[in-house]
Amino acid sequence: MNENCPDGAKGPGEIHTGSTKINFAADTQRWMEVMAERGWTVPNWPKEYGGGGLSTEETKILYEEMLAIGARAPLVNMGTRMFGPTLLEYGTEDQKQRHLTVIARGGAPWCQGYSEPGAGSDLASLRCRAEDKGDYFLINGQKIWTSGAQFADWMFCLVRTDFEASKHNGISFVLLPMDQEGVTVKPIELISGSSPFCETFLDNAIAEKRDLVGQLNEGWTVGKRLLQHERSGQGGLGTGAQRSRPVGVTIDLEMPDVLNDYVNDPSIAPELRDRVIDWEMKSAAFRLTQKRAGEESRDGKTPGEATSVFKLYGSTLAQDRQDLIVDLMGHQGVGCEDETFTSDETGAARSWLASRAVTIYGGTNEVQANIIAKRVLGLPD
Amino acid sequence: MTEYTQDQATFREVVTKFLQAKSTPTDVRRLMASDEGYDADVWQQLCQEVGLAGTHIPEEYGGFGFGPVELGIAAEEMGRHLYCGPFFSSAVMAGYAILNGDSEANKQKLLPEIAAGSTVATLVLDSVNDPNQVGRQLRVTGKELDGTAPIVTDAHIADVLLVVASGEDGLGLYSVIADADGVKISPQQALDPTRKLSRVAFSGAEVQKIGHLSESGLNKTWDQISVALAHEMIGGAQQLFDSTLEYTKVRVQFGRPIGSFQALKHRCADLLLELEWAKAATHHAAFCLASGQEPETASMAKAMASDIYMEAARAAVQLRGGIGFTWEEDTHLWFKRAKASEVFMGSPHTHRERLLSLMEEAS
């Protein structure tokens, strides 16, 4: 890896998302390609689907070696993290051959057609309709919060295929290409000024029958498993490089360098010092627990309900961190323009606004707490 | 962080089984109402039959030669069962202080007796809040000790006092016979009756010097004690959490178990998370002590364990409603221990500051 990792793929920076609609820096592109050749973009997937065929233990070593040379993750997207692992479990041989091999070589970014305007926390009440037209489904409805839909080639989508059945039993999990007449994408502008989420309108959109994952009307099971993969990787605004990094066990101030100036300011309120160290401890304990959970699932078990534990706490930590950063900055933490404020300071302000989303997307903290209460603690309905 | 071995898991089972039989809430209530605060027979069994007091003491001094991880396991189970006895004072506090000292003769003499339970020792510190404050009240001149330590655990039943005091050449560790002239031990009525406290005043008491105590030596002992205490605390917190969760499943109001209400579900979920992280931090700290790495994790463990124990204690009372603040219900036994432990060997705030200072030194 040391010989093949370009300098431009080391340290903080751009990570390949597999999008065919974005031009990546040459080093980002090259790093993704050399890793894909060995299947190391998705090291623990089977070789026949473009993976590296590595065991969990070997994958861990690979990540440790990447960390040792400061290499970023070669490829991170919904395909590598969420959809791929789900398809490995539920997909047909044909689906795996067609989709996983493309994901593994960074050839197609995916987006997630889950939430609808009327189906957020209560996702299973979704109403997007799919009609059986023989060899394809005809889909009509609206999806919302589709992250990266404007850069995606494919969407995995929950649709209602039976309006008579109870709400969990009439849902199917289908795959559809984004570049078709029936699909319209509109970015949603957020309070941070960026638009990572979209509205996606489906007007007579088409999904082929061979792209139905799992059984007809049994898509909820598939969709829930994908959410577990999603939540196990969530809980932060961190980059893919941080996510795939092996969990450290040393306490380190995971704050941008600029913050040292604020933390070492003798006039800083003791209460803020206390919060900094409290956050550091919780963050370290969080990593330790993640590591233990990783060790416990060394036998290759897929993530279960406990992923809600990590989603809930990780997202809270990420949000608390942004709160703490702007609190430390005081009036320097409210900037939008570069004249009075440094770019670090305006960046902190934007991240603070963006962090409002982490406790909401992927299932709100309140929904995660409900799942934990029911599935982990066994509390009654 | 390493996982527990099969042997360590078996060791936990042995400790649990013993305490389930010998430290029931009925036992705890009986002992906390007594002056001695412990059952001498059970203490002898604990030392002789189970051998717990020698867990971390090397075999050459009559112990079992295990380390902080195994000691942590024992402490965690004692916290869970609220064991009343001088284990923490004698084996953990005094034991570690002697082990860290440089007097081979004292190790040879005292440690086998401490491991066997035939001698009860305790560690006398004039500050139980901050290692930087230690040695300001207790002073040794020649061979005579003067000054007062306001909070000493189990001094009322101790045979030997290990005293940290300032001498002519800085901090030192001294031993004093508990019933010697010039030693006044006054038991104090304290909030937590399951671990007895005394005020210990010295006026010209004769001391035997065990050794010089460097700042790093004192901090090491402080860390070891803090990590053992953190284990005790997460054991107690786990007990409170388990019993409270069970209560919310069986207590019916408005025609349904109260655990079905979302307000309680969310509080329980939050507690679970905080408890899991505190356990991870505490177990990790023991592994770090064993390997001599990352000394700052001791303060992290003590701070987090303190916070979750109090939080679990508050929730245990609140979620039980009225019965939660009655004498009849057992919750208050742990509630009081939680508070007493929170401020013993450094409050969470003190440990957070200590941790931040260590990080600042390192960077």
Class of domain A247-376: mainly alpha
**Using CB atoms, which residue from B268, B294, B363 is nearest to A377?**
B268
Q: Which pLDDT value is given to residue A247?
A: 33
Query: Residues B22-42: what's their mean pLDDT?
Result: 97
Catalytic residue check, A57: no
3-state secondary structure of A114: coil
- A154: Cα within 13 Å, side-chain hemisphere: 23
Tokens, residue B96: 């570690």
Candidate list A116, A218, A230, A345, residue with the active-site label: A230
Residue listed under structure tokens 């398809």: A87
Classify domain A7-104 by CATH architecture: Orthogonal Bundle (1.10)
Run of H or E residues at A222: helix A219-232
Share of chain B above pLDDT 70, in %: 99
Q: Residue ranges of the alpha helices (H) in chain B?
A: 6-22, 25-32, 40-48, 68-81, 95-100, 104-116, 215-250, 262-291, 297-320, 331-342, 348-362
What is the least distance, in Å, from the CA of A154 to any CA of chain B?
A: 36
Run of H or E residues at B138: none
Name the segment(s) of chain A with CATH classification 1.10.540. Answer: 7-104
What is the least distance, in Å, from the CA of A85 to any CA of chain B?
A: 26
Cα–Cα dist A368/A305, whole Å:
9
Q: Do domains B6-116 and B216-362 have the same CATH topology?
A: no
Q: Which pLDDT value is given to residue A255?
A: 59
Contact B284 A373 (CB under 8 A): no
Using a CB-CB distance cutoff of 8 angstroms, which residues of chain A are in contact with residue B270?
A: 369
**Using CB atoms, which residue from A274, A286, A378 is nearest to B277?**
A286
**Using CB atoms, which residue from B270, B280, B356 is nearest to A292?**
B280
Q: Is the pLDDT of residue B93 over 60?
A: yes
Q: Which pLDDT value is given to residue A235?
A: 45
Q: Which pLDDT value is given to residue B243?
A: 98
Share of chain B above pLDDT 90, in %: 93
Q: For B291-312, write each residue's pLDDT tens digit.
A: 988 888 999 999 999 999 999 9
DSSP string, A256-286: -THHHHHHT-TTS-HHHHHHHHHHHHHHHHH
Task: Tell me how many residue pairs between chain A and chain B have CB atoms under 8 A apart.
Answer: 107
What tens-digit pLDDT sequence spans chain A (381 residues)? Answer: 888 999 999 988 889 999 888 899 999 999 999 999 999 999 999 999 999 999 988 988 898 889 889 899 999 999 998 999 999 999 999 999 999 999 999 988 899 999 999 998 899 999 999 999 999 999 999 999 998 899 999 999 999 999 999 999 999 999 999 999 999 999 998 888 877 889 999 999 999 999 999 999 999 999 999 998 887 765 433 333 333 333 333 455 555 555 666 666 777 777 888 888 888 899 889 988 887 776 665 545 556 777 888 899 999 998 998 898 888 888 888 887 777 888 888 888 888 898 898 899 888 999 999 999 999 999 999
Query: Residues B200-220: what's their mean pLDDT?
Result: 95
Class of domain B6-116: mainly alpha
Cβ-in-10-Å burial (0-12, 13-18, 19+) of A86 comes to buried
Contact B3 A376 (CB under 8 A): no
Cα–Cα dist B2/A126, whole Å:
44
ipTM rounded to 2 decimals: 0.86
Using a CB-CB distance cutoff of 8 angstroms, which residues of chain B are in contact with residue A276?
A: 356
Q: Is the pLDDT of residue B118 over 90?
A: yes
CATH fold for the domain made of B121-213 = Butyryl-CoA Dehydrogenase, subunit A; domain 2 (2.40.110)
**Using CB atoms, which residue from B260, B268, B360 is nearest to A381?**
B260
Using a CB-CB distance cutoff of 8 angstroms, which residues of chain B are in contact with residue A379?
A: 245, 248-249, 257, 259-260, 264-265, 268
CATH number assigned to the domain covering B216-362: 1.20.140.10
Measured between CA atoms, the residue of chain A closest to residue B282 is A285
Contact B281 A281 (CB under 8 A): yes
Name the segment(s) of chain A with CATH classification 2.40.110.10. Answer: 110-215
Contact B256 A380 (CB under 8 A): yes
Q: Which pLDDT value is given to residue B336?
A: 97
All structural domains of chain B with their residue ranges? 6-116, 121-213, 216-362
- The chain-wide mean pLDDT, for chain B, equals 95
What is the least distance, in Å, from the CA of A123 to any CA of chain B?
A: 19
Using a CB-CB distance cutoff of 8 angstroms, which residues of chain B are in contact with residue A288?
A: 1, 277, 280-281, 284
Q: In CATH, which superfamily holds the domain spanning A110-215?
A: Butyryl-CoA Dehydrogenase, subunit A, domain 2 (2.40.110.10)
What is the least distance, in Å, from the CA of A16 to any CA of chain B?
A: 32
User: Is the backbone of residue A53 left (phi > 0), alpha (psi -120 to 50) or beta?
Assistant: left
Q: Is the pLDDT of residue B64 over 60?
A: yes
